[in-house]
Amino acid sequence: MCGIVGYVGNKQAYPILIKGLQRLEYRGYDSAGIAILNGVLNVYKRKGKVSELESFVKSKDVDGRIGIAHTRWATHGEPTDENAHPHSSQSKDLSIIHNGIIENYDVLRNELINRGYEFHSDTDTEVLIYLIEDIKKNEKVDLGEAIRIALNQVVGAYAIVVISKDEPDRLIAAKKGSPLVIGIGDDDFYIASDATPIVEYTKNVVYLDDEEVAYIQKGEKLKIKTIKNKDKTPYVTKLEMNLSQLEKGGFEHFMLKEIYEQPRSIRDSLRGRLNADKGIVSLGGIIDYEQKMVNANRIIIIACGTSWHAGLVGEYLFEDLARTPVEVEYASEFRYRNPVIYEDDIVIAISQSGETADTLAAIELAKSKGATIIGICNVVGSSIARATDAGSYTHAGPEIGVASTKAFTAQVTILCLMALRIAQLKGTLSKSRFRQILYELESIPEKVEKTLQVSKKVIEISEQYQNVRNFLYLGRGYNFPVALEGALKLKEISYIHAEGYPAAEMKHGPIALIDEEMPVVFIAPNRGIYEKVISNIQEVKARKGKVIAIVTEGDESVRKLADHVIEIPETEELLVPLLATIPLQKLSYHIAVMRGCNVDQPRNLAKSVTVE
């Protein structure tokens, strides 16, 4: 949450910073601000989106070749002009941008108030910049040293960049728990929460590690120290993403673009990892840990939100194919509930962003108990990817829309490959069955392409139900997580209340909600316990509920009962989630657009949840 950008070099900083903020707006968008140095340190900030900041600074002085900028997702203090970043020190000589939470800010704030400081915002960040200035003044150290000393007093998470009126060529950055990347140009430096604002200018980047401080001086080599004052050698890596991946490519919204990218993203997730003709499934990233996975008595999957739904599909896959018991845990619960973790446990952590604070903390907990951690991440070089013992990237490409779409199907694809590989090694599937699934998995991108053609039907349904207040999503077996995911997609972008349930659980409570106003989405392919799902549909119809059913092409039984059917191609039961999710993503997208919602940036949400 919160996006931070910094620049120092020979170019004008403002266009680089504003463009960077636009790229990072998915991380938070309730206020934005910028500080540019050109003799004077000009700080401009505004409640609202980056576009409001742009209008605000139109007639202002934004000249300068060094600056910092921030887009905020509020934690401490409401979204107001005062609480927007950058925050300035008492003397106004220093300014800071911060992503994270200073947990002991209250103690530090009271100490500073006792020493005569006056605060102007409700944020924890202002405390940090006051503390830095106080140390600089009283301990007579330079800015870099003051920051290093201050960070030793801070409890919590931070990615910060500090600019000083007295240092026209230098920025200082540091991180713990929140991400920070430094791009190294020919004669300039770019700093950001992720690589998206940087890729346009340079592919050479350094990912800071926790408790590292970077001294970024124009015309000099990047210097890094830990907050304990140990020198570190910057490790430069090459970015793989390209600029076109970060643009809308003719689509009205990133979310729609990302929905349509799924044939490609699933293909990329499978590329080089699956060969049905030769009967090969191979995930290079976990090869050294395969035997541990084979020997594990259980797998624990940890994740949040949509990634947790993918984890639930993973539970069905591992138990079904590899016969390994699986527990799926919300990372936020797992980390605080004193779970039993054994040294031979395999923990699979799933995260699109690779930065989710709860997932990271759950990983650290499991690591401390000796478990082996396997990651499934989308963002290369992210904190979670680096915290795991091994793992597989999803290769879905940057996901910009706040609602996760292509990342989910890519995660399910990887889980499927992992479960198949472990099943192969354990010998829990016959050779012919194994091959059969491999061939079917290979054909999935093409079937996703076909599934994407359901637009007309989905738009008709969206028109009819765009104004309802509630939705119910029901599915069984592999399609229960799909129901959860469908409901989450609808509520997060259209603000319609929606619940996902296992279809048979309906009669234990939610059935009371059903009347002629209530649309019920059934995921009802002709696989698994199909007849039982038909009975559940009948129960809804008997109470005059409106049934929207996702069915297998050519299905006649459900068609007779349902008010609307959306067809998906025939496939293996275990692969249905990869297809059935697509029309549900489109349904939520079209309903949200019809309701005039901001699809790519829904209210109160952020793409990367780096606070717990």
Positions marked catalytic: 2, 607
CA angle 14, 20, 21 (to 5 degrees): 90
Count the neighbouring beta carbons within 10 Å of the beta carbon of residue 243: 9
How far is 483 from 550, CA to CA, in rounded Å? 11
How far is 290 from 421, CA to CA, in rounded Å? 8
Question: Do 192 and 6 contact (CB within 8 A), yes or no?
Answer: yes
Of 296 and 304, which has the nearer Cβ to ligand F6R?
A: 304
CB of 193 to ligand F6R, least distance (A): 13
Of 36 and 407, which has the nearer Cβ to ligand F6R?
A: 407
- Among 506, 519, 608, 609, which Cα is nearest to 564's? 519
List residues binding ligand F6R (CB under 6 A): 304-307, 351-353, 356, 359, 403-404, 488, 492, 609
CA of residue 553 relative to chain centroid, distance: 33
* Separate counts of helices (H) and strands (E) for the chain: 20, 27
Please identify the residue of the shown chain whose CB is closest to the bound ligand F6R: 305
Indicate the DSSP class of residue 169: T
H or E stretch at 35: strand 31-38
Of 476 and 607, which has the nearer Cβ to ligand F6R?
A: 607
Helix 479-494 to helix 576-594 angle (10° resolution) is 20
Spatial neighbors of 205 by CB under 8 A, at least 6 apart, are: 181, 182, 183, 184, 195, 198, 236, 237, 238, 239, 381
CB of 353 to ligand F6R, least distance (A): 3
Please give the full DSSP string across 466-513, using - where no structure is assigned.
TT-SEEEEEE-TTHHHHHHHHHHHHHHHH--EEEEEEGGGGGGTGGGG
Of 355 and 555, which has the nearer Cβ to ligand F6R?
A: 355
CB of 547 to ligand F6R, least distance (A): 25
Indicate the DSSP class of residue 307: H
Of 43 and 331, which has the nearer Cβ to ligand F6R?
A: 331
CB of 332 to ligand F6R, least distance (A): 10
How far is 250 from 256, CA to CA, in rounded Å? 10
Of 99 and 356, which has the nearer Cβ to ligand F6R?
A: 356
- Among 303, 372, 311, which Cα is nearest to 335's? 303
First-to-last C-alpha distance (Å) of the chain: 10
CB of 609 to ligand F6R, least distance (A): 5
CB of 574 to ligand F6R, least distance (A): 22
Of 88 and 413, which has the nearer Cβ to ligand F6R?
A: 413
CB of 483 to ligand F6R, least distance (A): 15
CB of 206 to ligand F6R, least distance (A): 22
Question: Which tokens belong to 7?
Answer: 């620049």
What count of Cα atoms within 13 Å lies in the side-chain half-sphere of residue 151?
A: 30
Of 134 and 485, which has the nearer Cβ to ligand F6R?
A: 485
Indicate the DSSP class of residue 459: H
Question: Do 469 and 496 contact (CB within 8 A), yes or no?
Answer: yes
CA of residue 408 relative to chain centroid, distance: 10
CB of 544 to ligand F6R, least distance (A): 31
In the sheet that 3-8 helps form, which strands lie side by side, from edge to edge?
Answer: 40-47, 31-38, 66-72, 3-8, 189-192, 181-184, 204-207, 236-238
Of 458 and 490, which has the nearer Cβ to ligand F6R?
A: 490
